Chain A
Amino acid sequence: GQNIDQPTEMTATEGAIVQINCTYQTSGFNGLFWYQQHAGEAPTFLSYNVLDGLEEKGRFSSFLSRSKGYSYLLLKELQMKDSASYLCAPAGTASKLTFGTGTRLQVTL
């Protein structure tokens, strides 16, 4: 079966750095995705990791440790528009994504 654990809510200040952690247990692991979802909108793709290590893409970076079943999303230079839910989603067989409940990030002034 699949089990995903993320913090429910986080708060950070504009301009700061925030790290959102995700631990997972899954069968048939084929990489891990991070999506951003603003309230009432579609999830949008942020990053994909299949090998251990850090993937950097602009203000967003994602890290994966397969042996530990652990990933994190790092957001730098936070902006107000980054207030959203962040969804950790391991990919299983046939690309089926399993989502956690997501982490709701609130960016404050």
Chain B
Amino acid sequence: DAKTTQPPSMDCAEGRAANLPCNHSTISGNEYVYWYRQIHSQGPQYIIHGLKNNETNEMASLIITEDRKSSTLILPHATLRDTAVYYCIVRVVMNYGGSQGNLIFGKGTKLSVKP
């Protein structure tokens, strides 16, 4: 799986949009971009994933550049409860019935939402 690069930390004011960047310049055509977050002392929580089109759900938006070498996770109105470590992961599509699917976590971005 391709490697990702994220800034180690970011601050965001409560109520403002949090834009978390991720570089994945070696991504291949069959790799998805996934975002997870981990609030302190909890298991990771799935946020969103995409292949090449921008995606939006109730939690966030994912913007993937046209060349797919980078992406941005957007939390439109950050709250204090969004303070967490955010992980950007690229992964191949799992084969049917295979045991692939484990996620390889980097160091992520520690997002601190401040009042």
The judgment on whether A and B are partners is no
